[in-house]
Amino acid sequence: MTFPWENVAWVLLDMDGTLLDKHFDDYFWETLVPEEFARTRGVSLAAARQDVFARYKREEGTLNWTDIDFWSRELDLDIPALKEGIRHLIEVHPDAEDFLKFLRRRQKQVILVTNAHWKTLDLKMAHTGLLDYFDKVVSSFDLGYPKEDLRFWRILQEQLAFQPRQAMLVDDNADVLATARRYGIKYLFFKARSSSQLPPAKNSDFPALLSFHELMF
């Protein structure tokens, strides 16, 4: 079946897990940060993981969740420096740049919409060289709300004047897709293979993409 690209004017793309391999973030937050927390606090790794993961859980779904300045204060660690130290692990999904080139050829408005903090965003865009593919880059820190909040989409539409019925969103977060659906965005896709180190995630609420190549026709 041919995708109706003639009906889509705006393509909204998530960054981590959608365009970029989420292995970097999983390793950083689940392995490196607890190890550094254990080292600096002089506690066992098991105790550090329990403490750190409990703090993560409290902030899930808020702007603090991806605010690396917040986590630097909360954990008394230099989070930006730790990220810089493993920047070599930042990888673009193999299909992502092909898709961005495809969208350029079709003259779509391509918007990066991410919950990532600007310091993280700048690091990843500088490392990957993807920035020039986007007509606009929007962080939830610009709008004051995470993508899981309906207000993010309301403010985004006010700023960009896009039509939800002519917009596509691809994201690896089903909660974000659900909020976008409530707002009226018509074409929604779940990026099932967010990390190269994990099997594809399952989701029955949205059409799943293993690869962007499935849309490139």
Summarize the confidence of residues 6-19 as an average pLDDT.
Answer: 98
Question: In the β-sheet with 187-191, what is the strand arrangement from edge to edge?
Answer: 136-139, 109-114, 10-13, 167-171, 187-191, 208-209
Q: Same domain for 161 and 209?
A: yes
A 10 A CB-CB count for 52 gives: 23
pLDDT of 1 higher than 60? no
Which of 64, 88, 112 is at the close of a domain? 88
What's the domain count of the chain?
A: 2
pTM beyond cutoff 0.75: yes
Q: Same domain for 16 and 63?
A: no
Report the percentage of the chain scoring pLDDT > 70.
100
Residue-wise pLDDT for 135-152, tens only, equals 999 999 999 999 999 999
Cα separation values, 81 from 12, 78, 123, 144, Å? 30, 5, 11, 25
Q: Same domain for 187 and 131?
A: yes
Residue-wise pLDDT for 90-134, tens only, equals 999 999 999 999 999 999 999 999 999 999 999 999 999 999 999
Mean pLDDT of the chain: 96
Q: Same domain for 187 and 97?
A: yes
Q: Same domain for 204 and 138?
A: yes
Q: Same domain for 16 and 28?
A: no
How many CA atoms lie within 13 Å of 148's alpha carbon, on the beta-carbon side? 13
Which of 88, 119, 143 is at the close of a domain? 88
Across the chain, which distance is largest between two alpha carbons, in Å? Answer: 59
Summarize the confidence of residues 71-79 as an average pLDDT.
Answer: 98
Q: Same domain for 141 and 176?
A: yes
Task: Give the CATH number for residue 95.
Answer: 3.40.50.1000
Partnered with residue 190 across adjacent β-strands are 171, 208
Q: Same domain for 14 and 34?
A: no
Q: Same domain for 67 and 95?
A: no
Which of 50, 73, 88 is at the close of a domain? 88
Summarize the confidence of residues 147-172 as an average pLDDT.
Answer: 97
pLDDT for res 217: 84
Domain span holding position 148: 5-21+91-215
pLDDT for res 2: 81
Q: Same domain for 114 and 84?
A: no
